[in-house]
Protein backbone atom coordinates (compact mmCIF):
# COMPACT_ATOMS: atom_id res chain seq x y z
CA UNK A 1 0.00 0.00 0.00
CA UNK A 2 1.27 3.50 -0.85
CA UNK A 3 2.46 5.61 2.06
CA UNK A 4 -0.08 8.17 3.26
CA UNK A 5 2.52 10.88 2.60
CA UNK A 6 5.81 10.31 0.82
CA UNK A 7 8.38 12.92 -0.10
CA UNK A 8 11.17 12.39 -2.62
CA UNK A 9 14.18 14.68 -2.67
CA UNK A 10 12.36 17.74 -1.33
CA UNK A 11 14.68 20.70 -1.51
CA UNK A 12 14.26 24.38 -0.70
CA UNK A 13 16.70 27.17 0.11
CA UNK A 14 16.17 30.72 1.35
CA UNK A 15 19.19 32.77 0.27
CA UNK A 16 22.11 30.79 1.67
CA UNK A 17 19.97 28.81 4.13
CA UNK A 18 19.07 25.23 3.23
CA UNK A 19 15.63 24.86 4.83
CA UNK A 20 14.88 21.46 3.22
CA UNK A 21 17.85 19.34 2.17
CA UNK A 22 16.73 16.67 -0.32
CA UNK A 23 14.26 15.11 2.14
CA UNK A 24 13.02 11.55 1.52
CA UNK A 25 10.33 10.76 4.05
CA UNK A 26 7.30 8.50 4.49
CA UNK A 27 4.37 8.62 6.88
CA UNK A 28 1.96 5.70 7.16
CA UNK A 29 -1.69 5.51 8.16
CA UNK A 30 -2.13 5.09 11.92
CA UNK A 31 1.18 6.68 12.91
CA UNK A 32 1.51 9.46 15.47
CA UNK A 33 4.69 11.20 14.40
CA UNK A 34 6.48 13.80 16.49
CA UNK A 35 8.98 16.04 14.70
CA UNK A 36 11.68 17.56 16.87
CA UNK A 37 14.47 20.01 16.08
CA UNK A 38 15.91 23.30 17.21
CA UNK A 39 14.58 26.67 16.08
CA UNK A 40 15.25 27.16 12.38
CA UNK A 41 15.85 23.43 11.68
CA UNK A 42 13.20 23.42 8.93
CA UNK A 43 10.25 21.74 10.66
CA UNK A 44 7.69 24.33 9.56
CA UNK A 45 9.21 24.59 6.08
CA UNK A 46 8.68 20.84 5.57
CA UNK A 47 5.04 21.18 6.67
CA UNK A 48 4.56 24.20 4.41
CA UNK A 49 5.85 22.28 1.39
CA UNK A 50 3.67 19.21 2.15
CA UNK A 51 0.54 21.39 2.59
CA UNK A 52 1.06 23.60 -0.48
CA UNK A 53 2.10 26.81 1.29
CA UNK A 54 5.61 26.63 -0.22
CA UNK A 55 6.82 25.19 -3.52
CA UNK A 56 10.02 23.15 -3.40
CA UNK A 57 12.91 23.91 -5.77
CA UNK A 58 13.25 20.16 -6.33
CA UNK A 59 11.48 16.97 -5.33
CA UNK A 60 7.90 15.70 -5.02
CA UNK A 61 5.19 15.19 -2.42
CA UNK A 62 2.91 12.19 -2.93
CA UNK A 63 -0.37 11.71 -1.05
CA UNK A 64 -1.41 8.05 -1.30
CA UNK A 65 0.69 7.85 -4.45
CA UNK A 66 -0.80 10.98 -6.05
CA UNK A 67 1.57 13.85 -6.82
CA UNK A 68 0.37 16.94 -4.91
CA UNK A 69 3.59 18.98 -5.24
CA UNK A 70 2.81 22.69 -5.43
CA UNK A 71 -0.97 22.15 -5.40
CA UNK A 72 -2.99 24.98 -3.77
CA UNK A 73 -3.41 24.54 0.01
CA UNK A 74 -7.23 24.37 -0.22
CA UNK A 75 -7.01 21.52 -2.74
CA UNK A 76 -4.67 19.59 -0.47
CA UNK A 77 -7.13 20.13 2.40
CA UNK A 78 -9.90 18.68 0.25
CA UNK A 79 -7.75 15.62 -0.41
CA UNK A 80 -7.68 14.98 3.34
CA UNK A 81 -4.68 16.78 4.81
CA UNK A 82 -5.61 19.17 7.63
CA UNK A 83 -3.21 21.38 9.52
CA UNK A 84 -3.05 23.62 12.54
CA UNK A 85 -0.59 26.47 12.86
CA UNK A 86 2.28 27.51 15.12
CA UNK A 87 0.20 30.67 15.72
CA UNK A 88 -3.51 29.71 15.64
CA UNK A 89 -5.28 31.06 12.54
CA UNK A 90 -8.73 31.85 13.95
CA UNK A 91 -11.53 34.15 12.82
CA UNK A 92 -11.06 36.54 15.71
CA UNK A 93 -14.35 38.42 15.33
CA UNK A 94 -16.36 35.22 15.42
CA UNK A 95 -17.49 32.89 18.16
CA UNK A 96 -16.05 29.43 18.67
CA UNK A 97 -19.11 27.81 17.02
CA UNK A 98 -18.94 30.21 14.04
CA UNK A 99 -15.24 29.46 13.55
CA UNK A 100 -16.03 25.74 13.24
CA UNK A 101 -19.01 26.48 10.96
CA UNK A 102 -16.86 28.58 8.64
CA UNK A 103 -14.13 25.93 8.58
CA UNK A 104 -16.67 23.16 7.84
CA UNK A 105 -18.29 25.26 5.10
CA UNK A 106 -14.97 25.42 3.25
CA UNK A 107 -15.22 21.69 2.69
CA UNK A 108 -18.64 22.02 1.10
CA UNK A 109 -17.98 22.13 -2.61
CA UNK A 110 -21.49 23.49 -3.28
CA UNK A 111 -20.87 26.52 -1.08
CA UNK A 112 -22.67 29.45 -2.63
CA UNK A 113 -22.06 33.00 -1.50
CA UNK A 114 -25.81 33.62 -1.78
CA UNK A 115 -26.80 31.02 0.78
CA UNK A 116 -26.62 31.78 4.49
CA UNK A 117 -23.58 30.11 6.04
CA UNK A 118 -25.53 28.02 8.55
CA UNK A 119 -27.60 26.36 5.82
CA UNK A 120 -24.49 25.08 4.02
CA UNK A 121 -23.15 23.21 7.02
CA UNK A 122 -24.51 20.19 8.81
CA UNK A 123 -25.33 21.63 12.26
CA UNK A 124 -24.97 18.19 13.81
CA UNK A 125 -21.41 17.96 12.49
CA UNK A 126 -20.51 21.29 14.12
CA UNK A 127 -22.00 20.23 17.48
CA UNK A 128 -20.21 16.89 17.30
CA UNK A 129 -16.87 18.60 16.67
CA UNK A 130 -17.46 21.00 19.60
CA UNK A 131 -18.22 18.03 21.88
CA UNK A 132 -15.27 16.03 20.58
CA UNK A 133 -12.74 18.66 21.66
CA UNK A 134 -14.61 19.75 24.80
CA UNK A 135 -15.35 23.28 23.58
CA UNK A 136 -19.12 23.02 23.86
CA UNK A 137 -19.30 25.21 26.97
CA UNK A 138 -17.27 27.90 25.13
CA UNK A 139 -19.30 27.81 21.91
CA UNK A 140 -20.64 31.38 22.24
CA UNK A 141 -17.32 32.93 23.34
CA UNK A 142 -15.46 35.13 20.88
CA UNK A 143 -12.40 33.20 19.72
CA UNK A 144 -10.21 36.22 20.57
CA UNK A 145 -11.34 35.99 24.23
CA UNK A 146 -10.14 32.39 24.70
CA UNK A 147 -7.01 31.51 26.70
CA UNK A 148 -4.11 30.20 24.55
CA UNK A 149 -4.78 26.49 25.28
CA UNK A 150 -8.35 26.77 24.01
CA UNK A 151 -7.25 28.84 21.01
CA UNK A 152 -4.91 25.99 20.08
CA UNK A 153 -7.73 23.49 20.58
CA UNK A 154 -10.08 25.55 18.40
CA UNK A 155 -7.46 25.67 15.64
CA UNK A 156 -7.31 21.85 15.78
CA UNK A 157 -11.13 21.59 15.89
CA UNK A 158 -11.39 23.77 12.76
CA UNK A 159 -9.05 21.37 10.96
CA UNK A 160 -11.00 18.34 12.24
CA UNK A 161 -14.26 19.82 10.97
CA UNK A 162 -12.88 19.16 7.48
CA UNK A 163 -12.73 15.41 8.26
CA UNK A 164 -9.03 14.96 7.38
CA UNK A 165 -7.24 11.61 7.04
CA UNK A 166 -4.08 13.27 8.29
CA UNK A 167 -3.72 16.19 10.68
CA UNK A 168 -0.41 18.05 10.78
CA UNK A 169 0.00 20.21 13.90
CA UNK A 170 2.80 22.76 14.13
CA UNK A 171 3.66 23.09 17.84
CA UNK A 172 0.18 22.39 19.29
CA UNK A 173 1.38 23.11 22.84
CA UNK A 174 3.60 26.17 22.28
CA UNK A 175 2.53 29.18 24.30
CA UNK A 176 0.43 26.96 26.58
CA UNK A 177 1.24 26.85 30.32
CA UNK A 178 3.21 23.69 31.10
CA UNK A 179 0.56 22.41 33.54
CA UNK A 180 -2.06 22.62 30.76
CA UNK A 181 -0.01 20.90 28.02
CA UNK A 182 -0.87 17.30 28.92
CA UNK A 183 -4.61 18.04 29.20
CA UNK A 184 -4.52 19.70 25.79
CA UNK A 185 -2.64 16.80 24.18
CA UNK A 186 -4.92 14.22 25.82
CA UNK A 187 -7.97 15.97 24.40
CA UNK A 188 -6.40 16.29 20.94
CA UNK A 189 -5.19 12.69 20.80
CA UNK A 190 -8.53 11.34 22.04
CA UNK A 191 -10.29 13.33 19.30
CA UNK A 192 -7.85 11.99 16.67
CA UNK A 193 -8.38 8.41 17.88
CA UNK A 194 -12.16 8.81 17.76
CA UNK A 195 -11.99 10.03 14.17
CA UNK A 196 -9.19 7.61 13.18
CA UNK A 197 -6.96 10.44 11.99
CA UNK A 198 -3.23 9.88 11.44
CA UNK A 199 -1.19 12.67 13.01
CA UNK A 200 2.13 14.45 12.79
CA UNK A 201 3.01 17.14 15.29
CA UNK A 202 6.00 19.39 15.88
CA UNK A 203 6.93 19.54 19.55
CA UNK A 204 9.79 20.90 21.66
CA UNK A 205 8.72 19.32 24.97
CA UNK A 206 10.43 15.93 25.31
CA UNK A 207 7.92 14.63 27.87
CA UNK A 208 5.07 15.31 25.48
CA UNK A 209 6.96 13.64 22.62
CA UNK A 210 7.73 10.54 24.71
CA UNK A 211 4.14 10.22 25.90
CA UNK A 212 2.08 10.88 22.77
CA UNK A 213 4.18 9.86 19.75
CA UNK A 214 4.58 6.37 18.29
CA UNK A 215 7.42 7.57 16.07
CA UNK A 216 9.87 10.47 16.27
CA UNK A 217 11.89 12.18 13.54
CA UNK A 218 14.66 14.65 14.39
CA UNK A 219 15.53 17.55 12.10
CA UNK A 220 18.86 19.37 11.81
CA UNK A 221 19.56 21.99 9.11
CA UNK A 222 16.75 20.88 6.81
CA UNK A 223 17.53 17.16 7.05
CA UNK A 224 16.19 14.17 9.01
CA UNK A 225 19.07 12.92 11.17
CA UNK A 226 17.21 10.27 13.20
CA UNK A 227 13.89 8.47 12.69
CA UNK A 228 12.48 5.67 14.84
CA UNK A 229 10.66 4.91 18.08
CA UNK A 230 10.61 7.66 20.73
CA UNK A 231 13.07 5.62 22.81
CA UNK A 232 15.52 5.17 19.91
CA UNK A 233 15.47 8.79 18.77
CA UNK A 234 15.41 10.48 22.18
CA UNK A 235 18.45 8.38 23.19
CA UNK A 236 20.37 8.92 19.95
CA UNK A 237 23.71 10.62 20.86
CA UNK A 238 23.55 13.19 18.02
CA UNK A 239 19.95 14.04 18.90
CA UNK A 240 20.85 14.37 22.56
CA UNK A 241 23.74 16.74 21.96
CA UNK A 242 22.55 18.73 18.92
CA UNK A 243 18.76 18.76 19.27
CA UNK A 244 17.93 18.30 22.94
CA UNK A 245 21.10 19.93 24.31
CA UNK A 246 21.40 17.30 27.07
Ligand X SMILES: Nc1ncnc2c1ncn2[C@@H]1O[C@H](COP(=O)(O)OP(=O)(O)OP(=O)(O)O)[C@@H](O)[C@H]1O
Residues ≥6 apart with Cβ < 8 Å to 143: 90, 91, 92, 94, 95, 96, 99, 151, 154
Cβ 40 to ligand X shortest distance, Å = 4
Q: How many residues bind ligand X (CB under 6 A)?
A: 12
Cβ 42 to ligand X shortest distance, Å = 4
Instruction: Kindly tell me which of 83 and 97 has the beta carbon lying closer to ligand X.
Output: 83
Instruction: Kindly tell me which of 27 and 41 has the beta carbon lying closer to ligand X.
Output: 41
Contact pattern from residue 30 through residue 69 relative to ligand X, giving x for each residue in contact according to CB under 6 A and a dash for the rest:
-------x-xxxxxxx------------------------
Residues ≥6 apart with Cβ < 8 Å to 137: none
Sites of contact with Mg ion (CB under 5 A): 43-44
Cβ 129 to ligand X shortest distance, Å = 27
What residues from 77 to 106 belong to the interface with ligand X (CB under 6 A)?
86
Residues ≥6 apart with Cβ < 8 Å to 201: 32, 33, 34, 35, 168, 169, 170, 171, 172, 212, 213
Contact pattern from residue 205 through residue 224 relative to ligand X, giving x for each residue in contact according to CB under 6 A and a dash for the rest:
--------------------
Residue 21, classed as helix, strand or coil, is strand
Note whether 85 and 174 are within 8 A (CB).
no
d(C-alpha 96, C-alpha 143), whole Å: 5
Instruction: Kindly tell me which of 44 and 199 has the beta carbon lying closer to ligand X.
Output: 44
Establish if 7 lies at the interface with ligand X (CB under 6 A): no
Q: Which strand (E) or helix (H) includes residue 199?
A: strand 198-202
Binding site for ligand X (CB under 6 A): 14, 17, 19, 37, 39-45, 86
Amino acid sequence: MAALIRTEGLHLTFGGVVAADHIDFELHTGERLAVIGQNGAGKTTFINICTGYLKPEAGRVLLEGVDITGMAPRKIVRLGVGRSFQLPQLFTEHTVRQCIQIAAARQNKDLSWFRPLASTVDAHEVEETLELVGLHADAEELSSDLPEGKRKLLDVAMALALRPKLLIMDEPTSGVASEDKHGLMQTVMHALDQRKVTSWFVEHDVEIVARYATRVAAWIAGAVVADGTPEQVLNNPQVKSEVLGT
